[in-house]
Chain A
Amino acid sequence: MAVTSPANTGGRWRALSFYGMKTGKLIATVAVTFLGLLVVTFLIGRVVPVDPVLAVVGDRASQSTYDAAYQALGLDKPLYHQFWIYLKDALSGDLGTSILTKKPITEDIARVFPATLELATAGIILGTIFGIPLGIWGAVRQGKLPDQIIRVVGLVGYSAPIFWLGLLGLLVFYAKLGWVAGPGRIDIAYEYSVTQITGLLLIDTAIQGQWDAFRNVLAHLALPAILLGYFSMAYISRMTRSFMLAELAQEYIIAARVKGVAEWRIIWVHALRNAAVPLVTVIALSYAGLLEGSVLTETVFAWPGLGQYLTNSLQNADMNAVLGGTLVIGIIFVGLNLLSDLLYTVLDPRVRRRG
């Protein structure tokens, strides 16, 4: 963040304390956000009418086996006490153990999150690459045929159930045409020849120079990524169109036209530059949405990601897993929000000056 340097020490001190306060405020906001998030998730977890002990001892255990598990989970303690213990452990980096997978939550999340990250990133890249130009095209040709077509395509993206589209996609492109690979992240044949380093299989296979496996991963990723990309494209193009329409109606555009600036320059440089500011938030939020893990897409494509993990945990009242997953999602949202704030200052000189 560029600031004009103050002329004297007093000014420098003021600037420092200004940034200090700003950082302090930011930390406080983030802390309160996380605390609120945890309290709400914790309470929801306790209100859900599912007995977590069932997931541990099963349906047929005797009362004494049940009681032992009940105590081992700390459920005999008062709610505030349970929460306090959780919070203390969480602050020291221990998110507890999953009652379903019997593994530390951090280990579980480290295993499932890269799958979601890879898919969501591919999806958002596709969504942005296609969404922005389509939105611009729709705005420029407002009310004409291209605009109508883009709107219909977007509408299908909005309203068609992803579950159905996913199965249809598999049927056509996997079963009939054989253009893409089937459900799962990688073929069994490559499964054990690739060492997982980052957990992002595209990167892992590339690092290890296993190009056959890389192509296989790409073939598995293509369809779900295109599908998620399509959904975010529908949203991004719609928002781009409306931001662009608003910009194109501004007086500076008229002024530019009067000055004889080339039309492509007006659209791509003048209008888009200004529309880009709110668009950053739209893209960041779409990305965050995809990173939560799309449980339906993950189910259809047998994609072992965060969405499936969280849903399964919630259904079994595996609260440590649910809280851990919620924390990760919280961090993603806060992180992407901060990132889009930063991008604001890059894209919008006014914000820079105010800063």
Chain B
Amino acid sequence: MRRVSRLIASAAVSATLGIGATPVFAETPPDTLIQAWQLDDIISLDPAEVFEFTASELLGNSYQPLVGYNVEDVSDLFGVIAESWEVSEDGKTFSFVIRPDLKFASGNPITAADAVFSLHRAVKLDKSPAFILTQFGLSAGNVEEKIRQTGDMTFELEMDKAYAPTLLLYCLTATVGFIVDKELVMSNETGGDMGYEWLKTNYAGSGAFTIRDWRANEVVVLERNDGFSGDAPAMARAIYRHIPEGSTQRLLLEKGDIDIARNLGAEEMDALADNPDIKIESGIKGSIYYLGLNQKNENLSKPEVREAMKYLVDYQTIADTIMKGKVKVHQAFLPEGFLGALNENPYALNVEKAKELLAEAGLPDGFSVTMDTRNTPEITAIAEAIQQTMAEAGIQMELIPGDGQQTLTKYRARNHDIYIGRWGPDYQDPHTNADTFARNPDNSDDAESKPLAWRNAWDIPEMTAKADAAVLEKDADKRAEMYLELQKEHQQVSPFVIMFQEIEVLGIRDDVNGFIIGPSFNDNSFRKVTKD
């Protein structure tokens, strides 16, 4: 039997030595920025189709819009590919002039034909983000007539109404308004698809970086665009690695195998706080965490119940513990930083007040209700905290866990009682959130548009009219005032318990500087990143 023991022992020793003989030294190359991020939501690299956080950030660093804004102060709008623009007297038509001498990464010059083509294409392809453009009365049928080239470097865009002028400009800053290289895209057209099949996985832009490679759920590689019109980036390459797990990202970051970790949880942040090689940087994002109370549920449709629920969330404790550093308490539908954002937070946990309101509603002993909860650690933890405080007032809340798409499917079919959600604005104009939280033009089951107010079956013809009026107001101060009023009313009566605004937090190696965290993901920029 000794032989057997010896055999096993020697096998074990040799295996250990075999591994030990390969010491691994981790260090990222000085001209390459390596980030770890959960990348499994990327479904396309085409500006006409991209609507996901990760892909938006990729496009923000590799394409250019007609118009941009200062990430420190979004009210400061400026031309990027557009040199200037004018609005017609009736307020319906914008005339743009393209900046001269700009080039795509392919070397092709940027002209008005490219801008017109990009916008036509996005409307005609009619993918997820197309509504950002079609809300101006554009459709596949009329877009050729409404967006027209008037010279080599000039074009006009005609809207159906005289909207607040900043609305269109902000919409053009979204990824769907990014300008693509017409010649390159059309040379890859198959079967009249305007290059759709090709651009899903390829690149045709003019930004600081070019997208060299995307392997789904693995890696995205960007390379410096040497023909870029602005200052050349210090990094020759920027690589995103798909690392789904936050704790794995933390290990890679500490070890120096990556420069930036993008999905760290509160726990990992705490653990990294004492590490002198790592710094934590954060920036406020536009996403809002909220509860949607379905008005098809008899109990939830009572105004007193809706108000009582707003007193049954321990906002500050959640923000200080479970979501530490990742959210701030915010209770109005416009995120801080938007025109007309309401930054008052009138609600705090108050069980007695909630009980009184429930008694007024004829439910002194509370009631039972379900909440569809996406099974991510953070959403689950928030939901459990809310479940506890609701129980203090007698509301028995059952949590129904589900995968993201599963809970969303139920929510969109209006089959939920309560849905705990996160909503990110589509562009920087206040209409983006007013349109979904405070507008519901048609509450019937087969409505054409299904905003959040519709999903919670909240029938609000009067508030819809107010939101419609606000989007046509040209005077910015007056418009801000209108949104403030709308939010105050909304805060009190709506079936939305708006709780938090998201803060994006990054773990960054100490030698990496200059990463900009903007209000939306396509504003996140590594163009100015350096390594010392």
Q: Please, which residue of chain A has its CB at the minimum distance from the CB of B450?
A: A63
Q: How far apart are the CA atoms of A141 and B8 in the complex, in Å?
A: 14
Check if A50 sits within 8 Å of B406, measured CB to CB.
Answer: yes
Chain A residues closer than 8 Å to B241, beta-carbon distance: 184, 188, 302
Given A130-B11, A170-B251, answer yes or no on A180-B24 (Cβ-Cβ < 8 Å): yes
Q: How far apart are the CA atoms of A216 and B255 in the complex, in Å?
A: 16
- Check A140 for interface membership: any CB of B closer than 8 A: yes
Interface centre among A50, A133, A170, by most chain B C-beta atoms within 10 angstroms, is A50
Interface centre among B5, B20, B216, B410, by most chain A C-beta atoms within 10 angstroms, is B216
> Which listed residue, B7, B201, B251, touches A182 by the CB 8 Å rule?
B251
Interface string of B378-412 (1 = CB under 8 A from A): 00000000000000000000000001111011101
Of A19-27, A51-59, A154-162, A249-257, the stretch lying at the interface with chain B is: A51-59
Nearest chain B CB to A285's CB is how many angstroms away? 24
Q: 11 A–B contact pairs at CB < 8 A?
A: A50-B403, A50-B406, A65-B130, A130-B8, A133-B11, A170-B251, A174-B251, A175-B251, A189-B29, A215-B22, A304-B217
Check if B11 sits within 8 Å of A102, measured CB to CB.
Answer: no
Lowest 7 CB-CB distances: which A-B pairs, in order? Answer: A58-B128, A51-B409, A101-B216, A304-B218, A181-B24, A302-B243, A50-B405
> Which listed residue, A111, A137, A170, A192, touches B248 by the CB 8 Å rule?
A170
Check if A54 sits within 8 Å of B409, measured CB to CB.
Answer: yes
Interface centre among B8, B24, B201, B254, by most chain A C-beta atoms within 10 angstroms, is B24
Chain A residues closer than 8 Å to B242, beta-carbon distance: 302, 304
> Which positions 32-91 of chain A face chain B at CB distance < 8 Å?
48-51, 54-65, 68
> Which listed residue, A63, A140, A174, A175, touches B448 by the CB 8 Å rule?
A63
Check if A179 sits within 8 Å of B22, measured CB to CB.
Answer: yes
Chain B residues closer than 8 Å to A48, beta-carbon distance: 406
Q: Please, which residue of chain B has its CB at the minimum distance from the CB of A317?
A: B405
Q: How far apart are the CA atoms of A309 and B29 in the complex, in Å?
A: 30
- Check B429 for interface membership: any CB of A closer than 8 A: no
Chain B residues closer than 8 Å to A317, beta-carbon distance: 405
- Check A143 for interface membership: any CB of B closer than 8 A: no
Q: How far apart are the CA atoms of A103 and B412 in the complex, in Å?
A: 28
Q: Please, which residue of chain A has its CB at the minimum distance from the CB of B197?
A: A102
> Which listed residue, B1, B219, B248, touches A141 by the CB 8 Å rule?
B1
Chain B residues closer than 8 Å to A300, beta-carbon distance: 245, 248
- Check B426 for interface membership: any CB of A closer than 8 A: yes
> Which listed residue, A60, A101, A183, touches B243 by the CB 8 Å rule?
A183
Check if A58 sits within 8 Å of B51, measured CB to CB.
Answer: yes
Given A174-B255, A300-B245, answer yes or no on A179-B23 (Cβ-Cβ < 8 Å): yes
Q: How far apart are the CA atoms of A30 and B125 in the complex, in Å?
A: 43
- Check A271 for interface membership: any CB of B closer than 8 A: no
Chain A residues closer than 8 Å to B245, beta-carbon distance: 299-300, 302
Nearest chain A CB to B379's CB is how many angstroms away? 15
Q: How far apart are the CA atoms of A179 and B24 in the complex, in Å?
A: 6
Chain B residues closer than 8 Å to A56, beta-carbon distance: 43
Chain B residues packing against A (C-beta within 8 Å): 1, 3-5, 7-8, 11-12, 15, 19-20, 22-26, 28-29, 32, 34, 40, 43-44, 51-52, 126-131, 134, 200-201, 215-219, 221, 239, 241-245, 247-248, 251-252, 254-255, 257, 403-406, 408-410, 412, 426, 446-450
Nearest chain B CB to A302's CB is how many angstroms away? 5
Check if A219 sits within 8 Å of B405, measured CB to CB.
Answer: no
Q: Please, which residue of chain A has its CB at the minimum distance from the CB of B45?
A: A102
Check if A54 sits within 8 Å of B405, measured CB to CB.
Answer: yes
- Check A191 for interface membership: any CB of B closer than 8 A: yes
Check if B255 sits within 8 Å of A263, measured CB to CB.
Answer: no
Q: How far apart are the CA atoms of A329 and B287 in the complex, in Å?
A: 40
Chain B residues closer than 8 Å to A179, beta-carbon distance: 19-20, 22-24
Check if A178 sits within 8 Å of B24, measured CB to CB.
Answer: yes
> Which listed residue, B12, B24, B29, B448, touches A219 by the CB 8 Å rule?
B24
Q: How far apart are the CA atoms of A226 and B408 in the complex, in Å?
A: 39
> Which positions 248-286 of chain A face chain B at CB distance < 8 Å?
263-264, 267
Nearest chain A CB to B456's CB is how many angstroms away? 15
Nearest chain B CB to A320's CB is how many angstroms away? 14
> Which listed residue, B1, B216, B405, B447, touches A316 by the CB 8 Å rule?
B405
Q: A183-B243, A302-B242 are in contact. List 11 more A-B contacts (CB 8 A).
A: A62-B448, A64-B126, A133-B7, A140-B1, A140-B4, A174-B255, A175-B254, A179-B22, A181-B24, A226-B15, A299-B244
